[in-house]
Amino acid sequence: MDDAAAARRCSPAVHVHDEQSLLERPQRARDPLDIVMTPEQLHQRNCKRALAQRSRPRSSVLFRTPIDVASRVLSTHGGRAVETLDRLDRLRLFRTLLDEPPAGVEALTTVYGTALTEHAESIEVAREELQLLTGGRADRAAALDDVRSSLSAAASADTRALRTGVGALVDALDERVAAYPASGAVFRACASAIEATDGAVWSATFPTIERIDLAGVSTLGAPVRDFLTAVEAATDVDVHYYLRAGTGPRIAGRLAARSGIADTAPNRVDESPDGRLDQPPRTTEIAVETRHDEARTAAAIVDGALEAGAGVDDIALVARDVDRYERPVGRALSTYGRHPSVWTQLPLTRTLPYRLVVAVCELLGAAATDDIAADTLLEPLALQWTPPRGGHDRPTPPSTVHALGRALDGASRSRVGWLTALRDLDGVDTTAREAAAGLLNWIGQQPAEPAPADICPVLVPVVDAFDESVLPRRAASDGPDYTETAQTARAVERVAGTDDGDHLLRETRAKYADWLERGHLDRSWDTVLTVLDALATARPGRREHANAERIDVLDATDAWLRTYPLVVALGFVDGEWPQRPHGELPAELRAAIVRGQTRSARQFPVRGAWSTERDFDHFADAVRAATDHLVVTRYTNDVDGVRYERSPLLTHLDADRLAPERVRRLRAGDASTLHDWIDDGPSVGGGGR
């Protein structure tokens, strides 16, 4: 079904920065009536928490991610479970393919040069962006060509090269792992199945569902949009879009343009979104010199509020990029004897450090039974294992691991049997053979039936070696925003820690000891792996002890639907909040799609990172999270003396600025009550300086 035909049959309801009806609709019901779709599990948790605060029942609601729903429908249609290829697996396979590029992939060299393997992360982002635009449909690919024709020669050539090269790479990947489709392919196949069965497959999967609510999104990509359109066109299910304050107006406009409502004029976004802010009774702005001063000031505010009688659940610290503040805020709070609980969307079980520990545990378990499969042996090497405490100082290149895998016969052997087979193997790079032999020798030095006390001495050095040997190389090949490096570094700390505090392996040791004492399971690396998985998937973020006094420290995107009497929002400097727009497709192409000045451009979604509107989403959520007092802070200089300007987002607030003398008194401990801070401070309405 083309866009025009679908639009004639669909009329979704659109709500911008207004989730009230979403929270009022749940009711008691024997069977679920609604599916609330959110992009992340943390958003689901926030929605459940908001309903609990309102004493609303949840029996009528299913909370799912869009890919979960589409996969289940497709499983019903095909009669078997659908497993998607996650990003880390796709990157691994991309690197293998890029090492010996298939036909057509060489087009990418005009954009990235000849060392394509080093740019696998960037190429994956380009794939995501192209998929978001076209959803794999030929008519949208033609519209993208129309937009490309209006660009400069250089931008047009780069766009063509990316489309050609990424398309060839995806085709080669699909041939290799046809049983594990990417999420975009799942949405596309699901929409086709719904259309082909005239909605019957949907009804068979979700027979009682009357409504779908898509909430918490800053980007509405073509695959998800097509999937929801197919549901609405072929069934009696109503679809509601709950959009956010900054990106919502543009998404709503693009939905309207798709149906022909805004077919003749560029999509326009409200340039003055103040009316979409729910500002608390009091708002205070504080400027200090450095980020560390900012963290110490925030810690003083928290301590003052707690000393004045506030509860630990009454306070939250919010940052646009919590990675930048986790350590300075943690250190600052510790000087007052306070402790942070950092809630983030770190997908721990999909990170390299975690998967490396899992692969090592699986190999240890297989070695204990003297039955090691070739894939089990190679997996730690593929995940960039390096020998703890010396040995090789760099991971084995993916191409040599792949070559070794081709040379092995796939049989299972004992540890000693594999050492013999590797020694007698000809025609394979010695680097890979030596790495595999080193791994087997290291495995032989570890206990076959680990005691609780063995877990950290065996596994922490594995993560430490990754931290020392792999992480610096990932930083060297990462993008300018260091997203992959920051996430991997945080995963290292989550899994093995950097000090004597709580971390996943220490928790695993304690839980493993508890399970052994209770006789739940036997001593084995398989049991360790079971405990590890249970802890890693049981809770998002880092709230290890629900009854401990810990201050919530949130990434700004996680402030959605949360409320606290006091919110301290950090990092309001231009370039950090909001961040500079960025993406992998040519800047000219992104700008043309964002502007939407042609009919072709207006049919495409805008990725959140392509404009500052996503940062306004997070800003508005942080503002709305504060029910009594919002404190916004910023720093003016970095450690090198570079000056940072005030965030333009603050012009949307009516704030009272705390004088420098008051800030010094606050950090000196003179903050007995929050109410004394601004009793004589001048108003800085409209964000005035």
User: Is residue 395 over pLDDT 50?
Assistant: yes
Tens digit of each residue's pLDDT (9 = 90 or more) over 238-265: 999 999 999 999 999 998 876 544 333 3
Q: Phi, psi at residue 573, to the nearest 5°?
A: -120, 145
The structural domains of the chain, with segments of one domain joined by +, span 3-83+184-243, 87-180, 277-345+547-687, 349-537
Determine the CATH number of domain 277-345+547-687: 3.40.50.300
Q: What are the angstrom distances between the C-alpha of 30 and each of 57, 63, 117?
A: 12, 16, 53
Q: What is the mean pLDDT of residues 158-164?
A: 98
Taking the whole predicted model, whether its pTM rises above 0.75 is answered as: no
- pLDDT value of position 546: 37
pLDDT computed for residue 668 by the predictor: 84
Residues 63, 351, 578: CA angle, nearest 5 degrees: 75
Residue 4 has pLDDT above 60, yes or no: no
Domain 3-83+184-243 class, CATH top level:
alpha beta
Is 60 exceeded by the pLDDT of residue 94?
yes
Domains 3-83+184-243 and 277-345+547-687 share a fold: yes
Position 326 scores a pLDDT of: 86
Across the chain, mean pLDDT equals 86
Asked if the model's pLDDT at residue 361 lies above 90, the reply is yes
Does 275 have pLDDT greater than 70? no
Q: What value does the mean pLDDT take over residues 637-658? A: 93
pLDDT at 486: 67
Q: How confident is the model at residue 540 (pLDDT cuts 50, 70, 90)?
A: very low
Neighbours of 23 (CB within 10 A): 15
Q: Would you place residue 500 in the very low, low, confident or very high pLDDT band (cuts 50, 70, 90)?
A: low
Quickly state the pLDDT bin for 400 (edges 50, 70, 90).
confident
* Residue 567 pLDDT exceeds 90: yes
Q: What is the DSSP string of 234-272?
A: HSS-EEEEEE-TTTHHHHHHHHHHHTTTTSSS-----S-
Residue 292 is encoded by which pair of tokens?
């560390």
Q: How many CA atoms lie within 13 A of 62 on its CB side?
A: 19
Res. 686 pLDDT band, cuts 50 70 90? very low
Those residues with Cβ within 8 angstroms of residue 562's Cβ, 6 or more apart along the chain or in another chain: 46, 49, 50, 316, 554, 621, 625
Contact 494, 323 (CB under 8 A): no
pLDDT in tens, 404-420: 988 887 788 999 999 99
- pLDDT for position 492: 87
379 Ramachandran zone, left/alpha/beta (phi>0; psi -120 to 50): alpha
How far, in Å, CA of 453 to CA of 457, rounded?
8
